[in-house]
Copies of this chain bind each other. A is one copy, B any other.
């Protein structure tokens, strides 16, 4: 076996999101060498944190692969980040004096789609901390939703958590119907009424998203307030799917932390058209790094 030349590149795929970022490291030939997890990488919620998370994930992936930190300079990085559809954030990250050989930047949606379908077209809906839809056909792509917390992202974990808190606070004033969410939120947050506000003040959307499983559980037990939240969220995701399918993508996948529990609540004709994802977003980010590097 001939050892790789010292100037050979490695490829690193980064999938950044509001709660965490995942990295996957591979050789030029394609063999995956290591993977890693780091902190939040949604530049809309903190640019410094995002850059720090990307660099941490890269260092940890090198360590996982048994490679020295000096190999950072040999990484061809493909990063899919939430929020870079905003021009100012895209530019801010492009201007970062990163420690890599090169950094190719795109949205978390594009790498999710690449990972899910293992090809450069198709459609995905990501429902995790946030929600967003993406479709790519004939080299043209379209984003739907993804407006973030608290202005958009209906059907996402953070949106469900916020709706649950709103409902519990209304119930605490007897200005809204009673709900089983009052007890389940009290247990998880160790707070009731106005203390919930204090507990959540200034918290990131990922903290709100931690409440989403309680909303599903209450809805599954028939709580009418929780049912209304889950049904409203699912209805938004179904309409988003309908809009994406109208572009005629080769396939549509529903991915992210909320996908499994949300699927049974979608319109049945939509649920029937979903394709299971072939690979995770960080695999899509690796494909993106290779693809962009080949174009140079």
Contact = CB atoms under 8 A, between A and B. Distances in A.
A65 interface: no
Nearest to A172: B147
Interface in A79-105: 85-89
B44 A243 contact: no
A165 interface: yes
A162 interface: yes
B147 A151 contact: no
Interface in A134-165: 143-148, 150-152, 154, 162, 165
A165 B166 CA distance: 18
A4 interface: no
Contacts of A87: 198
B144 A175 contact: yes
Which of under 10, 10 to 19, 20 to 34, or 35 or more describes the interface residues of A? 35 or more
A186 to B, nearest CB: 15
A128 to B, nearest CB: 18
Contacts of A240: 173, 175
B243 A175 contact: yes
A272 interface: no
B148 A166 contact: no
B197 A239 contact: no
A194 B147 contact: yes
B147 A150 contact: no
Given A148-B197, A151-B162, A151-B169, 11 more contacts: A86-B194, A86-B197, A145-B175, A148-B201, A151-B197, A151-B200, A152-B170, A173-B243, A174-B243, A175-B236, A175-B243
